[in-house]
A and B are shown apart, each in its own frame.
Chain A
Amino acid sequence: MLELALVLVEQAGPAPSSDGLELVAAARGIARRVEAAVLGGEGVAAETLGAHGVACCHELGGAGESLPAPRVAAALAQLVAGSPPGAVLLASTTTGRDVAGRLSARLDRPVLANVVGMELEADRIVVHNSAFGGTLLVSTRYEGEDPAIVLVRPKSFVAEEAGGQPASVVQAPLPGAGAAGSARVLERRRQELAGPALEEAAVVVAGGRGLGSAEHYGLVERLAALLHGAPGASRAIVDAGWAPYACQVGQTGKTVRPDVYLAFGISGAMQHLVGMRGARHVVAVNKDPAAPIFQLAELGVVGDAPDLLRRLVARLEAPGGAGAGDGGK
């Protein structure tokens, strides 16, 4: 085992992000002691993080109006110099990727990116990546000096309580980063979405180009609501402006692992499949019988996506019809 692993935990409010807790679980698998650098939020969730197995939290605070990555990378570099860990783990979020890149350049270490699994072999870190939309698993051994910088895909590890005491908290305010840190956030426009969070939803109803038009995305949202699920979208229609980025599933969007994933008019580009292949049951609806999404589908329907959506919505909305009862959580 490694003596120490350091994880970057982003806290949007009083609770750590689920990505952060997954990193803690990943770190526990390779290191005896886990410390967390905690960014943002209202204080540090020392109890939750401790319960998940973090011994010590370094409270970075928030970045205020500066774009955080350069300053967070500087803070992590200081922590690494102070008590050198065997690995630094970050989540593949927009901030996490930028921090990993900058930390890599600062420390002269490569980034082990897109990691979906990790283990130690003779005290060397071996990471697993999925390639080609998840059809291949590539295992790579890190052969450089400590620390390894590991960028982990969300939903690759399962967050788990370990019954630990509340973590101790040490102040580690973000240092400045000079010119590199000079980009400022003038405005934040939060996207408020109704229903369960996409990453946590038991049912995801997703739409793609095969919907035919932006208006038809409303049917996806309607069916998602009827099934107490969350709406999702392919990158193609987010780029086209049919759906908000917050709904994007795939490589550059969210990774989801619902019980049921219904894909309407999604052909199944590799970059989409990596975001949803962990779903337990997949239903795919597409006009093209050769669409790659059918390879993953337990139930495939060759047909017109908006037409079938309309009929499903009508059936579920019909009084006394097949509507979702209280059983659909």
Chain B
Amino acid sequence: MEVAVCVKQIPGPDSPQEIDPSTGRLVREGQPVIDEADTYGVETALQLVERAGAGSVTVLSMAPGGETSGVRAALAMGADRAMVVSDERLAGSDALGTARVLAAACRRCGAELLVAGTESGDGYSGVVPAQVAELLGWPAVTFVRRIELDGGELRAERQGELGTEVIACPLPAVVTVTAGAVEPRYPSFAGIRSARQKPVEELDLSALGVDPAGVGEAGARQRVVAVRAVEEERGSGEVLEDDGRADERVLRALSEWKVI
């Protein structure tokens, strides 16, 4: 089975949490890493192909400057190849612009299943997978905690608002997995070494056949007009060490607030 998996390369945990007030975009500095949310998608894709006993996993990523550091992490986990879409005209793309690129990349690699995280760790709008599914005309099963292939169909357990739903879904399809759906494997030393040799295809918009008008800043059709710090209504309050009497202090607070 041919599976594609979306990987977002986001600023590492040590990079500044800032928004550039002039562009309204996240400040992205330093070496990007694979979004932790996507490692669950990669692991899910690998397991599905392993259990099917045939097929391959292709990593899809949209990134400025042909960035591959996060993609290599997915290849080191065991993915077979990657497709990285880089184009200056993609700067400022919103979710729909990103979805257009991923949908085109998914079509190009011939996958019958596209796996993604439920939402990215930095932008977290969480709408890209549904947009990709609609652009491809595919069904989507989101918030999946368990998945298996049953004949030509997916069988998945999904987190609904009111509890768990068991879903049957024909292929081709889009699936988003929650953190905790699987335990992402650590890349082995051999995996890291072989990742350097695996094919990474770098494409621009023309090669991918995506209309530049629908992506980038123009496609986003929205402008950040203000960024301001939220004033904390409560400053950091009283902090005490628990010397064995903190229960009394907590109960007194609860009583002041009329909870007890």
Q: How far is the CB of B24 from chain A (nearest CB, A)?
A: 7
Contact of A240 among B164, B167, B180 (CB under 8 A): B180
Q: Is B52 an interface residue (CB 8 A)?
A: no
Binds A, one of B79-87, B120-128, B188-196: B120-128
Q: Is the CB of B238 within 8 A of A136?
A: no
Interface size of B in residues (CB-CB distance below 8 Å): 78
C-alpha spacing A94/B140, complex, angstroms: 12
Q: Does A130 contact B (CB under 8 A)?
A: yes
B250 CB contacts on chain A under 8 angstroms: 262, 283, 299, 301, 308, 312
A contact residues around B257 at 8 Å (CB): 259-260, 280-281
A317 on the B face (CB < 8 A) = no
Q: Which residues of A contact B240 (CB under 8 A)?
A: 300-302
- What is the minimal beta-carbon distance from A121 to any residue of chain B, in angstroms? 8
Interface membership of chain A positions 206-250, coded 1 if the CB is closer than 8 angstroms to chain B and 0 otherwise: 000000000000000000000100000001001111000110000
| Interchain Cβ contacts within 8 Å, total number | 279
A179 in contact with B254 given A95-B161, A238-B180, A327-B260 (CB within 8 Å): no
* Any B CB within 8 A of the CB of A203: yes
Instruction: Offer 8 A-B interface pairs, CB within 8 angstroms, sorted by A.
Output: A12-B161, A94-B161, A101-B99, A101-B134, A102-B133, A139-B224, A141-B225, A183-B169
Which residues of B pack against A, CB within 8 Å?
Answer: 17, 19, 24, 94-96, 99, 118-119, 124-131, 133-135, 137-143, 158-170, 173, 178-180, 214, 219-230, 232, 234, 236-242, 246-247, 249-251, 253-255, 257-260
Interfacial residues, chain A to chain B (CB-CB below 8 A):
12, 67, 69-70, 73, 92-95, 97-102, 104-106, 108-114, 126, 130-132, 134-144, 151, 178-191, 202-203, 227, 235, 238-241, 245-246, 251-252, 259-260, 262, 271, 280-283, 285, 289, 294-304, 307-308, 311-312, 315-316, 322-325, 327-328
- Given A92-B126, A140-B223, A328-B259, 14 more A-B residue pairs with CB atoms under 8 Å apart are A105-B96, A110-B96, A110-B222, A112-B222, A180-B139, A241-B180, A252-B126, A262-B250, A285-B246, A296-B232, A298-B253, A302-B239, A322-B260, A324-B260
